[in-house]
A and B are shown apart, each in its own frame.
Chain A
Amino acid sequence: MMSRIYPIARAVVADSLRRKVVYVVVLFAALLAFAIPFLPDYGLGVQEAVFREVALALAFVTAIVVTLSLAANRVPGEAERRTVYNVVAKGVSRWEYLVGTWGGIFLVAGAAVAAFTLIEQVIGFINYGVMMWVLWEGALAIWLEMGVIAALAVAASAVAGPVVVVTLTLAVLFVGHSRSTLLGGEGALAFRPFFPSLDAFNVVNPVAHGGGVPLEYLAGMIGVFVGFTGLALIVGGTLFGRRDL
Chain B
Amino acid sequence: MSENNGSAIGIQGARKRYKPIVGAPQRDAVQGVDISVASGTIHGLLGPNGAGKTTTIKMLLGLVRPTAGEFRILGEDSTRPAGRRHVGFMPEQPYFPQHLRAGQALKLYAQLGGVPKSEIGPRTSRLMERVGLQGREKSTLDAFSRGMLQRLGIAQALINEPAVVVLDEPASGLDPVGQRDIRNLMLELRDSGVTVLLSSHQLSEVEAVCDDVTIMNAGVVAAEGDLDTLLNAEGRTSIRARGLEGGLPPQVQGLATDVAVSGGVSVFSVADEAVRAVIDAVDDTGGRIVAVMPVRDSLEDYFARLLANTSGEVDVR
Binding site for B on A (CB under 8 A): 3-4, 6-8, 10-11, 14-15, 18-19, 81-83, 85-93, 96, 242, 244-245
Known: A11-B100, A81-B95, A86-B89. A91 touches B64 (CB 8 A): no
Which of A7, A81, A242 lies in contact with B111, CB distance below 8 A?
A7
Known: A85-B89, A91-B84. 11 other contacts (CB 8 A): A6-B111, A7-B108, A11-B100, A15-B97, A85-B91, A86-B89, A86-B109, A89-B61, A89-B84, A90-B112, A91-B112
B101 smallest CB distance to A (angstroms)? 10
CB contacts (< 8 Å) of A14 on chain B: these are: 99-100, 104
CB contacts (< 8 Å) of A83 on chain B: these are: 95-97
When A and B form their complex, which 9 residue pairs have the shortest distance between CB atoms, in order from nearest? A89-B89, A91-B85, A7-B111, A91-B84, A18-B99, A90-B112, A245-B63, A244-B64, A93-B81
Chain B contacts with A in 75-102, Cβ cutoff 8 A: 81-85, 87, 89, 91, 93-97, 99-100
Nearest-CB residue, chain A, relative to B166:
A89
Nearest-CB residue, chain A, relative to B62:
A88
Contact A89 B62 (CB under 8 A): yes
Contact A244 B65 (CB under 8 A): yes
B258 smallest CB distance to A (angstroms)? 47
Q: How far is it, in angstroms, between the C-alpha of A8 and the C-alpha of B100 when the chains are bound? A: 13
CB contacts (< 8 Å) of B81 on chain A: these are: 88, 91-93, 96
CB contacts (< 8 Å) of B166 on chain A: these are: 89
CB contacts (< 8 Å) of A242 on chain B: these are: 65
Known: A11-B108, A83-B95. A3 touches B62 (CB 8 A): no
A242 smallest CB distance to B (angstroms)? 7
B84 smallest CB distance to A (angstroms)? 4
Q: How far is it, in angstroms, between the C-alpha of A88 and the C-alpha of B138 when the chains are bound? A: 25
Contact B160 A90 (CB under 8 A): yes
Q: How far is it, in angstroms, between the C-alpha of A82 and the C-alpha of B95 when the chains are bound? A: 6
Asked if B156 is an interface residue, CB under 8 A from chain A, the answer is yes
Contact B82 A85 (CB under 8 A): no
Known: A85-B91, A245-B64. A90 touches B109 (CB 8 A): yes
Mask, B48-88, CB within 8 Å of A = 1, is 00000000001001111100000000000000011111010
B250 smallest CB distance to A (angstroms)? 64
Q: How far is it, in angstroms, between the C-alpha of A93 and the C-alpha of B89 when the chains are bound? A: 16
Q: How far is it, in angstroms, between the C-alpha of A19 and the C-alpha of B99 when the chains are bound? A: 9
Asked if B170 is an interface residue, CB under 8 A from chain A, the answer is no
Nearest-CB residue, chain A, relative to B85:
A91
Asked if B113 is an interface residue, CB under 8 A from chain A, the answer is yes
Asked if B114 is an interface residue, CB under 8 A from chain A, the answer is yes
Q: How far is it, in angstroms, between the C-alpha of A85 and the C-alpha of B96 when the chains are bound? A: 10
Which of A6, A15, A86, A90 lies in contact with B94, CB distance below 8 A?
A86
B129 smallest CB distance to A (angstroms)? 21
B30 smallest CB distance to A (angstroms)? 12
B59 smallest CB distance to A (angstroms)? 9
Nearest-CB residue, chain A, relative to B160:
A90
CB contacts (< 8 Å) of B83 on chain A: these are: 91
CB contacts (< 8 Å) of B153 on chain A: these are: 86
Q: How far is it, in angstroms, between the C-alpha of A212 and the C-alpha of B178 when the chains are bound? A: 65
Q: How far is it, in angstroms, between the C-alpha of A14 and the C-alpha of B104 when the chains are bound? A: 10
Q: How far is it, in angstroms, between the C-alpha of A14 and the C-alpha of B89 when the chains are bound? A: 24
B205 smallest CB distance to A (angstroms)? 22
The contact sample of 23 A-B pairs, CB cut-off 8 A, is A7-B112, A11-B97, A11-B100, A14-B100, A81-B95, A85-B89, A85-B91, A85-B94, A86-B89, A86-B96, A86-B109, A86-B156, A87-B112, A88-B81, A89-B87, A90-B84, A90-B85, A90-B113, A91-B84, A91-B87, A91-B112, A242-B65, A245-B64
CB contacts (< 8 Å) of B61 on chain A: these are: 85, 88-89
Nearest-CB residue, chain B, relative to A77:
B97
Q: How far is it, in angstroms, between the C-alpha of A89 and the C-alpha of B58 when the chains are bound? A: 9
Q: How far is it, in angstroms, between the C-alpha of A3 and the C-alpha of B110 when the chains are bound? A: 11
Q: How far is it, in angstroms, between the C-alpha of A152 and the C-alpha of B83 when the chains are bound? A: 30
Q: How far is it, in angstroms, between the C-alpha of A4 and the C-alpha of B109 when the chains are bound? A: 10
Q: How far is it, in angstroms, between the C-alpha of A245 and the C-alpha of B65 when the chains are bound? A: 9
Q: How far is it, in angstroms, between the C-alpha of A190 and the C-alpha of B14 when the chains are bound? A: 52
CB contacts (< 8 Å) of A245 on chain B: these are: 58, 63-64
A243 smallest CB distance to B (angstroms)? 8
CB contacts (< 8 Å) of B108 on chain A: these are: 7, 10-11
Nearest-CB residue, chain B, relative to A96:
B81
CB contacts (< 8 Å) of A244 on chain B: these are: 58, 63-65
Nearest-CB residue, chain A, relative to B91:
A85
B183 smallest CB distance to A (angstroms)? 23
Nearest-CB residue, chain B, relative to A97:
B112
A7 smallest CB distance to B (angstroms)? 4
Q: How far is it, in angstroms, between the C-alpha of A6 and the C-alpha of B83 when the chains are bound? A: 21
B281 smallest CB distance to A (angstroms)? 58
CB contacts (< 8 Å) of B62 on chain A: these are: 88-89
Q: How far is it, in angstroms, between the C-alpha of A6 and the C-alpha of B112 when the chains are bound? A: 9
Q: How far is it, in angstroms, between the C-alpha of A145 and the C-alpha of B111 when the chains are bound? A: 30
Chain B contacts with A in 131-159, Cβ cutoff 8 A: 153, 156
Q: How far is it, in angstroms, between the C-alpha of A14 and the C-alpha of B103 when the chains are bound? A: 14
